[in-house]
Amino acid sequence: MKKKSRFLQTPIEPFAVDAALSADQVLARMERISFQGRNLATAHRIWQKMLQDDVTIFMGMAGALSAGGLRLIVAHLILHRYIDCLVSTGANLYHDLHETRGQHHYVGSPHADDAALAEDRIDRVYDTYASEEEFISNDNWIADFAATLEARPYTSREFLYLLGGHLWKTTNRDGILTAAYRANVPIFCPAIADSSVGMGLSQARHKKPGTGHIDIIGDIVESANLVIRRPRTASVVLGGGTPKNFINQASVQAEFYSDEVGGHRYALQIVTDVPHFGGASGSSLEEAQSWGKLATDSARVSVQSDATIALPILASALANTAPPLLATRKAPVFTLAGRVMTVDGQTVPNARFVEEVNEPTV
């Protein structure tokens, strides 16, 4: 009989339907099917591996995930330290703050009459609505808070920590910003100027000259120094955008100053963009290797799916499978209250790059 081809090793195992399967059991049965179903199951396995290894786990989020009902998942991932550092668009933080302040987004229709919505001052995000009036009240709230701060530049990381603290003290409610505050998880927002958080800050400046100043170049330095301090990293990306690139950039920038940095050891992305138009959001994890953003021997998977489908399943599965891993995980310990943050007792400066791991800093 003819020898079997080396390519034919692992048979596809068709998904078998059963009653009462938990989310992780569903994913386990998807491990040997094909296409994006297999990829989602692989994402579950890779995230578990990240938690077992000694890596700093960055998570990026872009797209209207907070307005779209995923903010408490992200808060959960932060609080239980499935992740160590969040990079977000401003809109996701703003919509999180909106709900943490006790307001809502609303179930709507993608076929709405937008002129009628405009008349009612309702803002539409595909099939979801929000009140413009409430948004304006958020802008004011942010502006008022920012105007109370000392008139100096803040990295987005420092400002968001302070904002999260203020929000927690005011509301005592769960959300992304408040979870990050409570769990001492840093949040970076490199495109904060392109969001309503930025609009609130611009109004602070209008109210009180000298306030509302964000030092986003400091964020670059700080994020790269974090990678220099802890060169083993992992990347979880939801939706691409500026967060995806900023996480990769931290790695690339860190490599200039430290030989120990070699790209993420693990990478998983849940995206809807595609590679063939050349944009960074849809770029493949293979391409990321050419840049050194990703170690060539990294474990990686790209899931082509709307995060509003993939993340609830993935997080529900992890809620079953991850707790023992989380219990023994040694997550990095941050202090975020000061102008200069620390990780595991070492400073992470934002004014200059740390060139040797052991040099005295700032």
Q: Is position 356 an interface residue for a second copy (rule: CB under 8 A)? A: no
Q: Which of 239, 251, 258, 340 binds a second copy (CB under 8 A)?
A: 239
The values of phi and psi at residue 110, to 5°, are -70, -10
Q: Is position 15 an interface residue for a second copy (rule: CB under 8 A)? A: yes
Site string for a second copy, 44-83 (x = CB under 8 A): ------------------xxx--xxxxxxx--x-------
C-beta separation of 252 from 291 below 8 A: yes
Q: Which of 55, 85, 187, 310 binds a second copy (CB under 8 A)?
A: 310
Radius of gyration of the chain (CA): 21
**Catalytically annotated residue among 2, 169, 207, 293:** 293
The values of phi and psi at residue 89, to 5°, are -75, 160
Residues 324-353 interacting with a second copy (rule: CB under 8 A):
351-353
Residues 248-287 interacting with a second copy (rule: CB under 8 A):
249, 252-253, 256, 272-281, 283, 286-287
Question: Per residue in 199-215, is it b (16+ CB within 10 Å) or e — as a string?
Answer: bbbebbbeebeebbebb
- Supply the minimum distance, in Å, between the C-beta of residue 73 and a second copy: 6
Q: Is position 125 an interface residue for a second copy (rule: CB under 8 A)? A: yes
- Supply the minimum distance, in Å, between the C-beta of residue 358 and a second copy: 18
For residue 244, indicate whether it is catalytic: no
Query: How far apart are the C-alpha atoms of 94 and 143, rounded to whole Å?
Result: 13
- Supply the minimum distance, in Å, between the C-beta of residue 238 and a second copy: 11
Residues 83-102 interacting with a second copy (rule: CB under 8 A):
91, 99
Residues 199-238 interacting with a second copy (rule: CB under 8 A):
199, 201-203, 205-206, 209, 212-221, 224
Stretch that binds a second copy, among 162-170, 177-185, 243-251, 326-334 (CB under 8 A): 243-251
Q: Is position 131 an interface residue for a second copy (rule: CB under 8 A)? A: yes
Query: How far apart are the C-alpha atoms of 181 and 177, rounded to whole Å?
Result: 6
Q: Which of 161, 246, 266, 334 binds a second copy (CB under 8 A)?
A: 246
Q: Which two tokens stand for residue 43?
A: 């994402």
Which helix (H) or strand (E) is 67 found in, with range? none
- Supply the minimum distance, in Å, between the C-beta of residue 308 and a second copy: 3
Q: Tell me the CA distances in angstroms from 94 to 135, 142, 184, one per residue in order.
A: 9, 9, 19
Q: Tell me the CA distances in angstroms from 69 to 65, 75, 194, 195, 302, one per residue in order.
A: 6, 12, 21, 19, 22
Number of residues that bind a second copy (CB under 8 A): 142
Query: How far apart are the C-alpha atoms of 355 and 219, rounded to whole Å?
Result: 17
Q: Is position 312 an interface residue for a second copy (rule: CB under 8 A)? A: yes
Q: Which of 49, 81, 124, 182 binds a second copy (CB under 8 A)?
A: 124
CB-based contacts of 98, cutoff 8 Å, min separation 6 = 67, 105, 130, 134, 135, 138
Stretch that binds a second copy, among 47-55, 178-186, 229-237, 300-308 (CB under 8 A): 300-308
CB-based contacts of 65, cutoff 8 Å, min separation 6 = 71, 74, 92, 238, 239, 307, 308, 311
Q: Which of 33, 151, 325, 357 binds a second copy (CB under 8 A)?
A: 33
Catalytic residue ranges: 293
